């Protein structure tokens, strides 16, 4: 393993992620264990640890490391937890979630991205993550509840059906609002409703069928 790669990984964690208030030891450890360079294209390998969103196919993006760290910390995934991920993308966050929890079901609408992510996960020996091909906002039906749900793209408002997939006491991470100023929010399900805590401002591309309606002006 290249010493330069390990130095870049260390710098990503210590100079980007930790200073952005990611202090959970398990989260920092998993970001050091999962080899992020395996989850980017060859063309972007030298940027794997940069403070940048990296482009994927179909106009999608891999989140910045600092955002990934905040997502993982907010979800507080425990070893016995089941996790639903909406938007597999590169598969890197999927891998981190799988290392932290018991199982991950990840939903990706693009078959080629799903296949590539599956290959990367298998190569890294991650066998407790399953990637399904489906459009999540209107079509996907998991038929069960999860301890944690994470949306890797933004929504203009949280679809009610997503909240229904969360177990009592479970956590859901979503980025909500209108670009370019959106709020990262973690929801916790009580027996009858969702409690929410706003974490930080960011700006992510929308999930398919989750963007604000277009406004027409004369």
Query: CA-based angle 149:74:197, to the nearest 5?
Result: 95
pLDDT in tens, 60-110: 999 999 999 999 999 999 999 999 999 999 999 999 999 999 999 999 999
The answer to whether residue 217 is domain-embedded is no
214 found inside a domain: no
For residue 153, what are its two tokens? Answer: 């793209």
Provide the residue range defining the domain that includes 147. Answer: 3-202
In a domain, 130, yes or no: yes
- Kindly report the number of other CB atoms within 10 A of residue 169's CB atom: 10
The total number of structural domains in the chain stands at 1
Rounded Cα distance, 52 and 112, in Å = 23
pLDDT, the chain, mean: 95
The pair of three-digit structure tokens given for residue 146, joined into one six-digit string = 């999860």
Report yes or no on 209 lying in a domain. Answer: no
At residue 214, the pLDDT reads 80
Residue 160 lies in a domain: yes
Residue 171 has pLDDT above 70, yes or no: yes
pLDDT at 143: 94
Instruction: Please indicate, yes or no, if residue 216 is contained in any of the structural domains.
Output: no
Whether the pLDDT of residue 56 is over 70: the answer is yes
* pLDDT number for residue 218: 52
The side-by-side arrangement of strands in the sheet containing 146-151 is: 129-133, 103-108, 82-86, 146-151, 166-178, 181-189, 194-202
């Amino acid at each position: 393993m290249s010493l330069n790669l390990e130095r870049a990984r260390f710098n990503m964690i210590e100079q980007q992620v930790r200073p952005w208030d990611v202090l959970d030891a398990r989260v920092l450890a998993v970001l050091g264990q999962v080899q992020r360079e395996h989850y980017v294209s060859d063309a972007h390998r030298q940027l794997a640890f940069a403070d940048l969103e990296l482009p994927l196919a179909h106009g999608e993006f891999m989140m910045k490391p600092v955002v990934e760290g905040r997502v993982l910390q907010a979800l507080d995934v425990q070893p016995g937890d089941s996790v639903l991920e909406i938007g597999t993308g590169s598969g890197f966050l999927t891998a981190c979630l799988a290392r932290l929890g018991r199982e991950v079901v990840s939903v990706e609408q693009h078959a080629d991205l799903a296949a590539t992510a599956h290959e990367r996960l298998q190569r890294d020996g991650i066998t407790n993550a399953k990637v399904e091909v489906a459009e999540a906002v209107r079509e996907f039906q998991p038929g069960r509840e999860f301890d944690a749900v994470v949306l890797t793209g933004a929504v203009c408002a949280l679809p009610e059906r997503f909240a229904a997939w969360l177990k009592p006491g479970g956590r859901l991470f979503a980025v909500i609002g209108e670009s370019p100023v959106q709020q990262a929010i973690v929801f916790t399900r009580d027996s009858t409703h969702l409690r929410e805590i706003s974490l930080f401002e960011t700006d992510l591309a929308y999930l398919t069928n989750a963007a604000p309606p277009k406004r027409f002006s004369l």
